Amino acid sequence: MKEEMSSVDIRYIVEELKSEIIGARVDKVYHEGDEVRIKLHKTGEGRKDLIIEAGKRIHLTSYIKESSSQPSSFAMLLRKHISGNFVEDIEQHDFDRIVKIKIGKFKIIAELFKKGNVVFVTEDNIILGAIRYEEFKDRVIKPKHEYKYPPARENPLEVSWDRFVELIMGEDTEIVRALARRLNMGGLYAEEILLRAGIDKRKNTRELTKEELRTIYDKMKEVFTAPKKPNIVYKDGKMVDVVPIDLKWYEGYEKVYFETFSQALDEYFGKLTIEKAKAEKTKKLEEKRKQLLATLKRQEEMIKGFEKELKKNQEIGNLIYANYTLIDGLLREFSKAVKNLGWDEFKKRIEEGKKKGNKIALMVKGIEPESNSITVEIEGKRVKLYLDKDLNENAEIYYEKAKKAKHKLEGARKAYEDLKRKLESIEREIEEEEKKIQVKKIEKRKKKWFEKFRWFISSEGFLVIGGKDATTNEIVVRKYLEENDLYCHADIWGAPHVVIKDGQKAGEKTIFEACQFAVSMSRAWSEGLYSADAYWVYPNQVKKQAPSGEFLPKGAFMVYGKRNWMYGIPLKLAVGIINYEGEDLVMCGPVDALKTHAKRYIVIRPGDTKKSELVKKIKKIFEKWGYKVPEEDIMSVLPPGEGDIAEVVE
């Protein structure tokens, strides 16, 4: 699979980029690792992003990575000098894998060979900066040094006929190698030229006729001036290559065509980059997965072995009892014979009996004096009989072996199931890690009915809602408090009314979480308290009926009857992303609720960080986890007042 652009690819992309980026204004520059992305704006055409990956590629891209909060020194250098300037020119240097981009009084030189580099120079080629600083035998990449290009190589587009013949005939090797090396085109295009010319690529250069050389020369010019037809080449559903023109070499392969070469390169390298990132991110997990698969295979073989052993010994034990009279007689006769004759004479008598065709002797398949046993064949099965034990004891030996095999089999099966669960867990981890590669976006959507209130889903799965202000407090009780719910409230003025929907089915854990939510979303948080009291009651105890002579303002209700108190509840919440009814939502609630519904969450407590700053910190953590969440969505779920991050659970 192709991993970097060839000189031919660069020729085509540079020609295409001339019309795309010349005249565009530089808005901003980003740099990370080997990649430099230049954000451009072209009048009438809008935004364009040029990606340069040292040693690999250059093209317009739509794969925009989230930039790190702190730009690199190289990015800052480029921003300082070229932001607001216009791209004046772009060209390939001598058909080499080097691209020069002129922006105002400066140049960016993209080296796309070997390890590669991106070098920033003045119009006089004095180096101002680079991705990496290096020293070579004939040139130095360091600030204040003059930038020198690597030694020039032949350009197949400009090479004359005489020079072409001189270069090829000066080699004593296969023609395909001579073309690739001496004319700076790489193996693929050398193969393509010879395929079009109808000449065996293995033919030695010294054996070529003048006519054959002329055909190769003409086909070379034909290939390098072929009309652009960008495409990605696939084999068996997998990407193989991305090329700017149609190649005979890839006849029979599946191809996907693109309007521009940039689009083809972007699709190819974009997917390649993501696949590599996935492979790198899941490398250790994949190794564990392979080990588990190998162990599972061994475990399967063990299970088969124990099943076979169990069956075999069970059958032999049954066989002994099924042939009770015969085996009991054999044990008696063999024991008596060995006792009277000794083992040597016994063996001799058995061999003589076999020669004479004696049925009993023919049954004997093995004699082992050291274990005092004789193996006989009964009904096609070999049975070892111990002469110092009776029939029942012999049968028990096999039943005991079967029992041990069964015990081992059960253990092996349990271990097998454990391994399968581990494998499934690893595969889920791999899937989760792969998801992190691409930033997920929480799109603007129609909000769920409960999102106009404070809310969370309890660890037991119950929806809990609370008011945000006088109006929503009024609505929570008047419209949404129903007979099967429970009502919670903090013992502090200005606390929200909190309702556990269907709460009379909830357990103590949900009720505690709802009371903790009530105290945490109250003034107790903004006052910096670390604990407060709360209570819960039934819906029929909450009324809009004030005591005689008193008035209840908007959002206020009276609670009558017994209150079920919870004392000293800590003010502590967590915030994270949960998936609820198929949608990703930002949820702020008790820690146990987040622990149940989110794999990662941020624990918060009353503190000194301004709410706006706290929101920014949470937003950055979400982005690190792969979620792009608007600040207002985070702001709307947090408790009132300042707070601090107590813990980040990943």
Mean pLDDT of the region 576-592 = 92
Mean pLDDT of the 193-222 span = 94
- Residue 626's pLDDT is what? 86
What is the Cα–Cα distance from 212 to 409, expressed in whole angstroms? 73
User: Edge to edge, what strands does the sheet with 254-257 contain?
Assistant: 238-243, 231-235, 254-257
pLDDT of residue 571: 96
Contact 642, 612 (CB under 8 A): no
Task: Tell me the range of 208-212, 223-227, 411-415, 512-516 where mean pLDDT is highest.
Answer: 512-516
Backbone angles phi, psi at 362, to 5 degrees: -65, -25
Q: Check whether 47 has a pLDDT greater than 70.
A: yes
Token output for 230: 């960008």
* Higher per-residue confidence, 47 vs 246: 246
Q: Is residue 442 scored above 50 in pLDDT?
A: no
Q: Is the pLDDT of residue 336 over 60?
A: yes
Interatomic CA distance for residues 514 and 508, integer angstroms? 10
Does this model's pTM top 0.75? My answer is no
Tokens 């049975």 map to which residue? 383
For residue 462, CA distances in Å to 510, 575, 600 come to 7, 17, 20
DSSP 126: B
Separation of alpha carbons 108 and 197, rounded Å: 39
pLDDT tens column, 370-386: 999 999 999 999 999 99
CATH of domain 161-278: 1.10.8
pLDDT at position 73: 94
What count of other Cβ atoms lies within 10 Å of the Cβ of residue 91? Answer: 14
Lowest-pLDDT choice from 15-24, 89-98, 547-556: 547-556
Q: In this structure, what token pair is assigned to residue 295?
A: 């162990």
Q: How far is CA 437 from the centre of its chain?
A: 6
Asked if residue 44 has pLDDT above 60, the reply is no
Grouping H, G, I as helix, E, B as strand and the rest as coil, residue 327 is: helix
The three-state secondary structure class of 637 is helix
Please answer whether residues 141 and 80 qualify as being in contact, where contact means their C-beta atoms are separated by less than 8 angstroms: no
Residues 13, 262: contact at Cβ < 8 Å?
yes
Share of the chain above pLDDT 70, in %: 95
Cα separation, 250 vs 109, whole angstroms? 32
pLDDT band at 188 (very low <50, low <70, confident <90, very high): very high
DSSP 248: G
Among 124-138, 401-415, 427-441, 462-476, the least confident range: 427-441
| Cα separation values, 645 from 191, 524, 601, 604, Å | 61, 17, 11, 5
CATH number, span 7-141: 2.30.310.10
Which is nearest to 517 in space by CA: 472, 583, 444, 468? 468
Do the Cβ atoms of 28 and 79 come closer than 8 Å? yes
pLDDT for the residue numbered 554: 77
Residue 443 has pLDDT above 60, yes or no: no
State the Cα–Cα distance between residues 260 and 634, nearest whole angstrom. Answer: 41
What Å distances lie between residue 519 and 58, 515, 533, 563, 594, CA to CA? 56, 6, 7, 16, 17
User: Taking Cα atoms as reference points, which of 366, 301, 376 lies closest to residue 331?
Assistant: 376
Average pLDDT over residues 530-541: 94
Domain 7-141 matches domain 161-278 at the CATH topology level: no
Q: How many residues does the chain have?
A: 650
Give the H or E element holding residue 485. Answer: none
Highest mean pLDDT (candidates 67-71, 254-258, 552-556): 254-258
- Segments making up each domain of the chain, as ranges: 7-141, 161-278, 449-649
Find the angle CA(521)-CA(523)-CA(525) to the nearest 5 degrees: 65
At 191-205, the pLDDT tens digits run 999 999 999 999 999
DSSP letters spanning 558-600: EE-S--EEEEEEE--EEEEEEEETTEEEEEEE-HHHHHHH-SS
Taking the C-alpha atoms of residue 338 and residue 299, their distance in angstroms, rounded to an integer, is 44
Question: Is the distance from CB of 513 to CB of 464 less than 8 angstroms?
Answer: yes
Please say if the pLDDT value at position 429 is more than 90: no
In this prediction, residues 567-575 reach a mean pLDDT of 96
**pLDDT at site 340:** 93
Residue 280 C-alpha from the chain's centroid: 9
**Tokens describing residue 335:** 């024991």
> What SS3 state is found at 285?
helix
Q: Of 296, 317, 297, 295, which Cα lies nearest the Cα of 405?
A: 317
Q: pLDDT for 86-107, tens place per residue?
A: 999 999 998 899 999 999 999 9
Question: Does pLDDT of 281 surpass 80?
Answer: no
> What is the pLDDT of the chain when averaged over all its residues?
90
Helix (H) or strand (E) holding 498: strand 498-500
Q: Show the tokens assigned to 35.
A: 């990649």
Could you give the C-alpha distances from 403 to 66, 407, 413, in angstroms and in order? 62, 6, 15
